[in-house]
Amino acid sequence: MPHHDCDVIIVGAGPTGFMTAFLLQRRGISFRIIDKALAPSRESRAAVMSARSLELFASLGLSEALLAKGIITQQIDFHIAGRRAGGLNYDLCAIDDSPFPFILMIPQSETEQTLLDALASGGGQVERGVELVGLVSDAEGVDVEIRQGGETSRLRAAYVVGADGGHSTVRHLHDLSFDGAPYAQNFLLGDVRVKWENGHDHFRIFMHGERIGLFLPLAGSGLSRVMTTDIGADNGAASSAAAGSDQRGGTREAGDAAAAPLELDELQRAFSSVAQVPVTLDDAQWLTKFRTHHRCVDRYRVGRTFLAGDAAHIHSPAGGQGMNTGLQDAANLAWKLAAVLQHGAPESLLATYESERLPVARETIAFTDKLFSLAAGQSGWRARLRDALAPVVVGPASHLAFVQGKAFRRFGQLDIRYGENPFIAPSGPANAPARPGMRAPNAQLSRHQDLFDWLTGFTFQVLFLSRKRLSPPQAAALLETLDGLTGEFVNATLVARLTVGGHPGVVTVTRKDVFDHYGLANDAAQALLLIRPDGVIAWRGDNNDFSPLAAFLRRFWSVAAHSQR
């Protein structure tokens, strides 16, 4: 076999690339992460972190570092023609299956720095000023041509991950389509200090005629992001030019070199117009004009090369889905690469990356398109009608816990579900909770513990739940059986009620929450689950028969690889 310089080469040092690198590092997979930029971006760019992403960071021991740098907000206020019309208040809905029932506002630069620090603590580093210029694959690896300081050289790896953004060189080199189009509107954006009467603790959305505006708190009264429609732009000419441009890339996004300069007073006038209150902006950290697109590849994989994050999908900033979708791409792909490279898993496992994540990207684009069209895609009488009807709809909905909960789960990416494949068992009843393909929910177990305290480390988790009370001999027998399933890439946890006292190795349940969330409805119920490293349930059995689970586990790796403790 030809020599490999490393197992995986990651192109692009943004959140998706950093997350991929860190997860591979956690699994002992060798990698190199390269980026043509000489220095990291200091702009906030993506600034909204979802509950699902925070759950991923929590499983890696990094959520507290992010929470210390960001602003927690439970509320999104909608302002129509200058008046608050209602909004989303997540304090009103019962979100008890996630430890993060809020939105975290945090600059992308801080998210990247948190991942970079974690990567560096394990000896990882970014190779900057290194540009990808060529890719050649064969049956055993990928030859990568890079340019650094005017000189070219070659690297070889088993796999390549393209996390190099909307202008992805990896995507271009594979001549992949990136179908979609620019939105009609141009936008103005600034990270600035905002002085006004509305406060700095809530995410705010403003609609007024043809304008839409956003206010995102980033650092209290010291720094906020404001964005609004650029009414004065020549949208028709820009749209025509974009329509004739390269459909395999060529996107113009906030912060790109192609984005036009913006003066602070222009942003202040435009944002004041949509907010309909006096606003003063100063101390600008970042100003730009930009146009956003909605585009998606039709393939996430070409041979031994994979795309992730903005290299595979871009969409409007509505809903704050972009960076979060990329982080989940990384979580889905990294453990599969580790299982193949280190544990003898079949190559067919890698095919499920595309089959699972591409539908998510397409649905996210459709969802954000609808949001964008409703809020910013109206003009003339349609915009006036929207402004008239929105308070009638938004106001009453703001008081409905069901609506609040559905909105939080959708924006928080908590209910994404993967379909059956060779590595996800049939799901069973459609409406049953916690079935294969679904995210494993959190639940409080006792006064000081919840389930996510035990589902950590980016490993497979075998979880045995017993609402039926276990005697000490029964608990000991189950623990012995569970121990036989554990290995380098598998942990096992017994969560149960006991007939008497406690038992070493058993996570004792004093609350019924976990049984409710996992559908154990009666006092004799038990369930056995396999949860993947990315927090998705892969298999479930509603009894204490371990044989089917053992057979299912063998799909992921060779017996020899699994037996290495």
- Please tell me the least confidently modeled range out of 244-253, 277-286, 330-339, 432-441: 244-253
| pLDDT the model gives residue 82 | 86
Q: Which residue has the tokens 């403003």?
A: 206
437 in the Ramachandran plot: left (φ > 0), alpha (ψ -120 to 50) or beta?
A: left
What is the per-residue pLDDT for 256? 45
pLDDT tens digits, one per residue of 89-147: 888 888 899 999 999 999 899 999 999 999 999 999 999 999 999 999 999 999 999 99
Instruction: Read off the pLDDT of residues 154-175 as tens digits, 9 standing for 90 and up.
Output: 999 999 999 999 999 999 999 9
What mean pLDDT is predicted for residues 59-73? 95
- Most confidently modeled of 249-253, 273-277, 354-358, 406-410? 354-358
Tokens of 45: 């760019």
Residues above pLDDT 70, as percent of the chain: 90
Is pLDDT of 55 > 90? yes
pLDDT at 558: 58
Name the pairing type of β-strands 71-73 and 126-128.
Answer: unpaired
- Grade residue 215 by pLDDT with cuts at 50, 70 and 90: very high
Q: Does 498 have pLDDT greater than 70? A: yes
Confidence of residue 376 (pLDDT cuts 50, 70, 90): low
Backbone angles phi, psi at 449, to 5 degrees: -135, 145
Per-residue pLDDT averaged across 281-307, rounded?
92
Total length of the chain: 565
User: Quick one: pLDDT at residue 378?
Assistant: 61
Residue 395 token pair: 């106001």
From 8-22, 121-135, 196-210, the region with the lowest mean pLDDT = 196-210
Asked if residues 503 and 495 have their Cβ atoms less than 8 Å apart, the reply is no
Write down the pLDDT at residue 181: 83
Three-class SS state of 141: coil
Mean pLDDT, rounded, for 257-267: 77
Given this model, what pLDDT does residue 290 score? 84
Nearest to 312 by CA among 184, 173, 170: 170
pLDDT number for residue 563: 40
Which top CATH class is 444-562?
alpha beta
Q: How far is CA 51 from CA 74, 102, 103, 151, 316, in A?
A: 11, 7, 7, 44, 20
* Sequence-separated (6 or more) residues with CB below 8 Å from residue 77: 84, 86, 87, 202, 203, 204, 205
User: Would you say 192 and 44 are in contact if contact means Cβ atoms under 8 Å apart?
Assistant: no
Q: Concatenated DSSP letters for 87-134? A: EEEGGGS---S-S--SEEE--HHHHHHHHHHHHHHTT--EEETEEEEE
Q: Using CA atoms, how far apart are residues 432 and 424, in angstroms rounded to an integer?
A: 16
In order of 25, 291, 538, the CA distances from 288 in angstroms are 36, 10, 44
Q: Kindly state the average pLDDT of the residues 188-199.
A: 92
- Predicted pLDDT of residue 292: 81
Provide the mean pLDDT of the chain: 88
Residue 208 has pLDDT above 60, yes or no: yes
Beta bridge partners of 161: 10, 306
The pLDDT assigned to 194 comes to 95
